[in-house]
Amino acid sequence: MTTPQQDDDEAVCTHLDQVQAVHARTPQGCEECLASGGRWVHLRLCLSCGHVGCCDNSPNKHATKHYHASHDPLIQSFEPGEDWGWCYVDEVFLEPAPLQAARR
């Protein structure tokens, strides 16, 4: 049996097996910004626990802060019509988003 060859330049996410069937804990917005009265630009959904955090273009960058605190490796956009994800550990852009059921 042969296996497909992978181009050494092609990055691969090795954490897709950690995607959980999550539901957004705060579907109305960034969990921390809602609690503090902060604002966000775009939202990201943690695919391990359902945390909703704001993107790195937002003043508080709560999605990335959540990754550093929790080490949950995968997020995906929580913006309507967007269909992509990101693996923090492998630094890999994922398209389409890993958890289609959680898209808005």
Report the CATH number that the domain containing residue 81 is assigned in CATH: 3.30.40.10
| Domain ranges, residue 48 | 16-102
Short-list 67, 72, 60, CA closest to 30: 60
Residue 11 within any structural domain of the chain: no
Residue 1 within any structural domain of the chain: no
Which amino acid is present at 5? Q
CB 87 within 8 A of CB 74: yes
Neighbouring C-beta atoms of residue 33, cutoff 10 Å:
20
Report H helices in the chain: 31-36, 62-70
Q: What is the pTM of this model?
A: 0.90
Say which residue, 10 or 43, is predicted with more confidence. 43
β pairing state of 74-77 and 85-87: antiparallel
Residue 7 within any structural domain of the chain: no
Residue 52 within any structural domain of the chain: yes
CB 13 within 8 A of CB 87: yes
Q: pLDDT tens across 25-84, in order?
A: 999 999 999 999 999 999 999 999 999 999 999 999 999 999 999 999 999 999 999 999
Number of domains in the chain: 1
